[in-house]
Chain A
Amino acid sequence: MGAFMRLPRIALVLVTLVVIVAAAPKGVAIAPAYAVNPDEVLSNPKLEARARKISEGLRCLVCQNESIDNSNADLAKDLRLLVRKRLEAGDTDQEVVDYLVSRYGEFVLLKPRFDWDNLALWATPVVVLLGGGILAFLVMRRRKARRSPDALSAAEEAAIERIIAERG
């Protein structure tokens, strides 16, 4: 048991080493965000970071499930520039997204809105998880109720005693 108690401390040292070696020298310093092409970058880094964040949620309309942030298509570049133009004009993030939806429809959003049309989409994980959980619970309970063995009757107890006595 004594050896076991020391283990967490050894683990602490090990994990420290692993994490430092793995992530620290390169990872902790987070590079400033750049746009996909250097000439698109906004001079204001805060605005640029917001533009990146918005871009990740917008679909490049001519690509398959690719965000405009990842895509090389010309249209994606146009949309990236558009997002930045609106941000520079002083739009909030929501206003930028709304503007793009008004122009290109909900298709441009990679994360569909919470609305009645998308109810089944958003509800599925919750419904399946809860429904499955409740079902599993009910099945387990019903089976237990059905299968729990009745206590032995007095006659059965006596029979067992007799058998034990005979064998013993």
Chain B
Amino acid sequence: MIVEIGHYALILSLSVAIVQSILPLLGARRGDARLMETGTIAATGGFVLITIAFSALVTAHVTSDFSVLNVYQNSQSAKPLLYKITGVWGNHEGSMLLWVLILAFFGSLVALFGRDLPAALKANVLAVQAWILTAFLLFILLTSNPFTRLEPAPMDGQGLNPILQDIGLAIHPPLLYLGYVGFSIAFSFAVAALIDGRIDAAWARWVRPWTLIAWIFLTLGISMGSYWAYYELGWGGWWFWDPVENASFMPWLAGTALLHSALVMEKRAALKIWTILLAILTFSLSLLGTFLVRSGVLTSVHAFATDPTRGVFILCILCLFIGGALSLFAMRASSLEGGGLFAPISREGALVFNNLFLTTAAATVLVGTLYPLLLEVTIGKKISVGAPFFDLTFGPLMVPLLFAVPFGPLLGWKRGDLLGAGQRLYFAAGVALAALLVTLALTSGARILAAFGFALAFWLIAGSLTDLVLRAAFLKVGWRSGLSRLIGLPRSAFGTAFAHFGLGVTVLGIITVSSFQTENITTMAPGQTVDAGGYAITFEKIVPRAGPNYEEQGALFSVRQGGVEMTTLDTAKRFYPARQTSTTEAGIWTHWFSQLYLSLGDPSADKRSVVVRIWWKPLVTLIWIGGIFMAIGGAFSLADRRLRVGAPSRRRQAVPAAVRA
């Protein structure tokens, strides 16, 4: 019964979405306030309906209702409750339902918080949102219905892919989707502006917070996913340039560009057309990511869906939205007024530079991901594009961009002083030079590349804090009043500093771990000790254990330094009978920012010893901590008073007074 209610609610939400696609748009054309208002009601109602549908599916999973095909295929009664819930989106149908739930959620947010929006703009935005919603609801109902029943109902289910039975599944997909789908708002605003043929500073003030929210979630989602892959897959790698990873990375790159370009548009009314194009491109890349993952066109560790009808359906959605939006752009963009004059060396110029490199990076990842596919379809040749390609192309693109980051916030709007900015950065330059020389000295000049990498990372870290230190004027007004000035700075200044600082921290982690990690692969029997990363690691014993839906051979290792026991590492090979698959549970010890990573290989023929892989990964956690800093930066920026549309502005009253004085 509950399942049928969910199914019914989902169908009903489709009809509501169709209404929302048409009526508000008509209302905006005719200037009919009542018709425009239907958008608000439909968006909220649609969200409620999809929530009901989603809750029904969760209920079916939690109660292990195996008469539902989706539950039978992806669940099992012995599975722990947490994985019964997260298993809802650990499969194709459920994850698409989560996708539309989040889409409807964002739509309802615009409906509820958009009271101050111009009525026509709001109506158009909600209509465009409803187009996307309609397309994906049709996709779910026609090709991927999670509510399909099974007759007769089996006794037990097939269980969830063991790799997905992890807390990571609870966090990673929802965060990623909040990011992916969040960019739909920027897209809808862009299309609405093109339909209207009008775009102003208020538009940018609205788009920036929505983009920021999506960007924060996507940043966290990608970091989280990277850490999950790192500890779960047992290779100790944190980024594989896997097509599915690329699918989430492309919208991030484009979204980061969008964020910066919306900033210029908000402050200086420049780059309007470019911002619109980026908003379209960012969400298009999100859609492309959804297509790549959901169609099964690339089979990889992540892809758990293979069915060509679905692929073709999403491809049609993709062409419709990307093609439609870009055609609209081509027709209308020239009528939008470009504005804001600026010199090449200026804050705007720096942001154009940033956009140029980020867009090129996104294009590089895009072509690297799709090229094998294109070549196979066109001339039937099979090639691979992997990490060595991206190292050679993406890497060099990042160097000038990262080098330029500290300059940006120090340049003035309209016309900047590069020399002046450089002079203010000499402390950061000193730090970078010191890092370079110290690394060269310690490695006897053997690691030149690593030394320059460290210099770049410290340049970013110190450079990102320079702006705050200078604006607080610690050196001029002293410690105490400097601190009060620091607190008084606009939050967006903190946002910039935190995000750029986080970038530096991530770079530091990447450079350190890729230059100085040590690897030790050996065969060990209980009682044996090996030396890895300066620690003596002893294989203590093997303990057979049983979990709720798996059996495992646990292996305990003790870690000693100078005879003192630092920790014990618990690692295991797990076997899941329901799926007849096994997983490796890595043993990880975090020491400050570094980690000792141990994973088990195959046992020897006589079962008395086992292959053990031990990595010492210096500063590896900084890679993800940096991501968290970036997200915190985004949150600061979001909290800035200027961005809270409708919040009474202290600044607006203060400025004229200052001018009069």
Contact = CB atoms under 8 A, between A and B. Distances in A.
B619 A65 contact: no
Interface stretch (A82-90, A107-115, A154-162): A107-115
Contacts of B397: 125, 129
B431 A15 contact: yes
Interface residues of B, number: 74
Contact of B618 (A8, A15, A23, A117): A23
B338 A125 contact: no
B386 A65 contact: yes
B523 interface: yes
Interface string A33-61: 11111110000000000000000110100
Contacts of A112: 371, 383-385, 389
A38 B522 contact: yes
Contact of B364 (A15, A16, A108, A125): A125
A137 B430 CA distance: 33
A105 interface: yes
* Residue among B298, B519, B602 facing the most chain A CB atoms (10 A cut-off): B519
Contacts of B442: 19-20, 23-24, 28
B550 to A, nearest CB: 19
Question: Do most interface residues of chain B lie in helix, strand or loop, or is the interface mixed?
Answer: mixed
A64 interface: yes
A137 to B, nearest CB: 8
A35 B519 CA distance: 10
B393 interface: yes
A63 B521 CA distance: 22
A35 B356 contact: no
A31 B533 CA distance: 8
A34 B235 contact: no
A11 to B, nearest CB: 4
Contact of A110 (B338, B341, B386, B434): B386
A111 B523 CA distance: 32
Nearest to A147: B341
Interface string B453-477: 0100010001000000000000100
B434 A22 contact: no
Interface in B590-629: 593-594, 601-602, 611, 613, 616, 618-619
Contacts of B594: 22, 26
A11 B462 contact: yes
B443 interface: yes
A147 B344 CA distance: 15
B388 A111 contact: yes
Contacts of B655: none
Contacts of B458: 15
B392 A105 contact: no
B386 A59 contact: yes
A105 B341 contact: no
Nearest to B455: A15
Contact of A7 (B427, B438, B532): B427
* Residue among A8, A33, A120 facing the most chain B CB atoms (10 A cut-off): A8
B301 interface: yes
4 interchain residue pairs of minimum CB distance: A27-B516, A110-B386, A8-B430, A111-B388
18 contacts: A8-B427, A11-B462, A15-B438, A23-B442, A23-B618, A26-B533, A27-B512, A38-B523, A67-B386, A67-B387, A110-B386, A117-B383, A118-B371, A121-B385, A128-B364, A132-B360, A140-B342, A140-B344
Given A7-B430, A19-B454, A112-B383, 17 more contacts: A8-B426, A11-B434, A19-B438, A26-B516, A27-B516, A27-B518, A37-B601, A59-B386, A64-B298, A65-B242, A65-B387, A108-B384, A110-B386, A117-B375, A118-B371, A128-B363, A129-B356
